[in-house]
Structure 1
Amino acid sequence: MKFDVFSQMEYVVRSPGTLILNIHALRSPNQTVISEEFGLQPYIKFEELQTLQGENRLVRFDVSADTPNVKVTYKATIDNCYEITDFGHLQETHVSELPSPVLPYLNPSRYCQSDKLYRLAHNMFGHITNPFEQVVELTNWINKNVQYLSGSTNSQTSAFDTVTEQAGVCRDFAHLGIALCRALTIPARYFTGYAYHLKPADFHACFEAYLGGKWILFDATRLVPLNGLIKIATGHDAADSAIANIFGDVTFTTMQVSCELAEDSFEPFYYGDGEFKGLSYL
C-alpha cells in the first residue's frame, strides 16, 4: 500500500544546542521510500545517521540563538508491504531457540518493568497455551481496562504506572503491552510510526511481539487499522525511539502530522475475536 506522510515541527532556540530527530520513514526490504524531502527553515547543515541495528534513521543538526525560530519539514511517499500469518497452532518458543538479536527484547527496560508485572501477567494470561492468543488477550485487556486519556501521563510514566492509574495515551498502551509480553517470556519491542485514519493526526505508538519467527504488530488502542501504519523506528521502549531528542535551551512549540492514502482502495485490517491471524511488516 502507498501512503503520503507529512510532519512539520517548530522550535524556539534560546541558546546553542543540538537536535536529533527521528521522523524519517524506515527503509526496509518491504517498506520502500519512493520519494522524500527533508528541510530546515532557515537552512541549517544537517547529517543523517543510522543506528547500528538499522532500526532508526536519525537527522542531527546544531542550532544557535542567531536563528531563534527553526521549522522542520518532512514529507514522503511510502510503499509498504505486510503479511498475514495463521497462528492457530502456534506453540511456545523456548528461549534457547530464539535468535540472539531478539534476546534483549525479553529484558525489563526503563518504561517496561516486566519484572514488576510478572505475577499479574501469569495470573491473568499464563493459562493460555497459544502465545499469539496470549498477546491478543492481553492487548484486549489493556483496551478494556485502560482509558485512553490525552494529557493523563508524562514522559516519566511507565508500564507499572499505567496499570496503577488505568489511563494513558498510545505510548503508555504500548509500554504496558510490551511489559506484559516480556513477563510471559515473549520478546516485544516498541513501534513508532505514521498512522492512517488516526484522529487527531499525530505520530502513533504500538508494539510488536516476536511470534513464530516474525515480529507481529499489536495496537491496544485500536485507533487505527493495523495495515495503515508506516514504520519510523523500533526499540526497547520510547527511550530508544523518541521523535526528538533536544540538547540545549530549545523549546518545541507546534507540530503537524498527516498520513494519507496514495492509492484508490484500502481495506482496513483489525484482529477479530476468535481469529488467529497476525499481521507483520516484512
Structure 2
Amino acid sequence: MTHIQIGCNLSYTVTQTTSFLFNIAAARTLQQTIGEETLQLNPAIHFETFTLGTEGIQVYRIVAEPCELQLQYHAQVELYPDRYDTAEIIETDFQHLPYEVLPYLNPSRYCESDRLAHFATRLFGNIPHGYSRVTEICDWINANLDYQAGSSGESTSACDVLIQRVGVCRDYAHLAIALCRALCIPARYISGYALGLQPPDFHGFFEAYLGSRWYLFDATRMAPVEGFVRIGIGRDAADASFATIIGTAALTTMSVWAQ
C-alpha cells in the first residue's frame, strides 16, 4: 500500500455566467481508496458532485457568475498496486474480447488507428504478442519522440505526433493508444496525478487490455505507474479533460501536486 497526498489549485477569470465540469477528483476503484477529500471554492458557490459511468469517475459541476474564481482540491489516497508476472500476460483474440472493451479498438478524435495499421504492423507485427509487445511500443515511442512542453495543441493527433516526433504526455499516450488499436489491442486514455512527476502536472497515461483485464503503461517514462492516481478514463484526452467550460472564463493560475 502507498499513501499519497494529491491536489490542485485552479484560478479563473469569469466574465459571464459560465458552467464548469471539473474532472480533477481521484476515482473510486479497487486499486485506490479515498480518505479525507475536500473541495473549496472562493467565492463560496454551490457545486454538484456526481459519478460518471462504472469506473468510479467523480465530476464536479459548478455555475459561476462573473468573478475571480479560485478552486482548491485535496485528497488522501491509498494505492494498492497490482503485482503480476508480465511474461505470463498474453493478448486476447478479437473473438474473445468482452463487449465492453470493443469500443476501445475504434479510431477516435486523437487516435487515428485506422491510418496507422500498416505502420504498426511493419514495426510491431512480428513481436511476440502480449505485455512485451505493448512495452515495445512504449520503448519505441520513448526513443523516437522528444518531450517538449508547449509543442502541441488541442488539435494535435497521434498522426501529427508521429510526423513531428515531438509532444507532451497526452501525445505520447495518444500515439501508443493508436498503435495498440491498430494491432487489435484495446487501449484507452487515463488522466491523473503522478507521484514523482517533474514538473508536477496532470499526467496522461494509457491502459491496454491484455488477457482478461486492463494494464497501465506510461510511454513518457517520467513517473512510475505504481504511483499513479487515476482521475478520468476515455477513448482519448477529449473524454478526460480536467475542465470543460461552457461560457467565458480564462485560466489564470494552475498548480498540481502528488506527494
With the length of structure 2 as denominator, give the TM-score of the two structures.
0.97
Question: 1:9: Cα distance to partner?
Answer: 0.1
Match of 1:275 in 2: none
Offset at residue 89 of structure 1 (A): 4.1
Question: CA 1:92–1:227 in structure 2 vs 1: closer, same or farther (change >3 Å)?
Answer: closer
Secondary structure of 2:44's counterpart equals: coil
| C-alpha contact (below 8 Å) 2:146/2:166 kept by paired residues | yes
Give the partner amino acid of 2:115.
K
Partner SS, residue 82 of structure 1: coil
Which residue of structure 2 aligns with residue 245 of structure 1? 244
Q: Contact (CA 8 Å) 1:92, 1:129: kept in 2 or not?
A: no
**CA separation in 2, counterparts of 1:38 and 1:183?**
40
Tell me what 1:23 maps to: 24
**Does 1:155 find its partner at 2:159?**
no
Q: C-alpha distance in 2, partners of 1:90/1:247?
A: 43
Give me the identity figure in percent: 42
Runs of at least 5 residues in structure 2 that lack an aligned partner in the other structure: none
Amino acid at match of 2:80: C
Secondary structure of the residue aligned to 1:192 is: strand
Give SS of 1:220's match.
Answer: coil
1:83 offset after TM fit, Å? 1.0
State the SS of the aligned residue for 1:88.
helix
2:162 counterpart letter in structure 1: V
Provide the rounded CA distance (Å) in 2 between the counterparts of 1:125 and 1:251.
43
Deviation at 1:43, TM superposition (A): 0.6
Structure 2 counterpart SS, 1:85: coil
**Equivalent residue runs for 1:59-70 within 5 Å:** 59-65=60-66, 68-70=67-69
Where 2:82 maps in the other structure, the secondary structure is strand
Shift of 1:130: 2.2
**Structure-1 separation of matches of 2:90 and 2:193:** 32
Compute the displacement of 1:181 (Å). 0.3
Task: Give the SS at the match of 1:157.
Answer: coil
The answer to whether structure 1 residue 216 and structure 2 residue 215 are counterparts is: yes
Q: Is the alpha carbon distance of 1:90 and 1:228 closer, same or farther for their aligned partners in structure 2, counting shifts above 3 Å? A: closer
**Cα distance in 1, alignment partners of residues 254 and 123 from structure 2:** 39
Decide whether aligned partners of structure 1 residues 92 and 195 sit closer, same or farther in structure 2, where only a CA change above 3 A counts. closer
Query: After superposition, what is the alpha-carbon deviation per residue over 1:240-268, rounded to whole angstroms, capped at 9, x for unaligned?
Result: 100000111111111011101xxxxxxxx
Letter of the 1:135 counterpart: V
Is the CA contact (8 Å cut-off) linking 1:30 and 1:81 kept in structure 2? yes
Give the conservation status (yes or no) of the 8 Å contact 1:178–1:190: yes
Deviation at residue 77 of structure 1 after TM alignment: 0.4
Aligned-partner SS, 1:180: helix
- Per the alignment, residue 43 of structure 1 pairs with 44
| Count of matched residue pairs | 258
- Distance in 1 (alpha carbons) for counterparts of 2:99 and 2:56: 16
- Partner residue, 1:11: 12
- CA RMSD after TM alignment: 1.0
Match of 1:76 in 2: 75
Read off the aligned partner of 1:8 and give its amino acid letter.
Answer: N
Greater shift in the superposed pair: 127-136 or 200-209: 127-136
Aligned counterparts of 2:28 and 2:85: Cα–Cα separation in 1: 26
The TM-score, its normalising length taken from structure 1, stands at 0.89
Task: Give the CA deviation at 1:90.
Answer: 3.9
Is the Cα contact below 8 Å between 2:173 and 2:206 reproduced in 1?
yes
Give the AA of the match of 2:220. Answer: T
Task: State the alpha-carbon separation in 1 of the partners of residues 47 and 146 from structure 2.
Answer: 40
Contact kept? 1:9, 1:72, Cα under 8 Å: yes
1 CA distance for matches of 2:121 and 2:40? 48
Moved over 3 A (4+): 89-92
Question: Which amino acid is 1:146 matched to?
Answer: L
Structure 1 residues 249-264: aligned runs within 5 Å: 249-260=248-259
Counterpart for residue 273 of structure 1: none
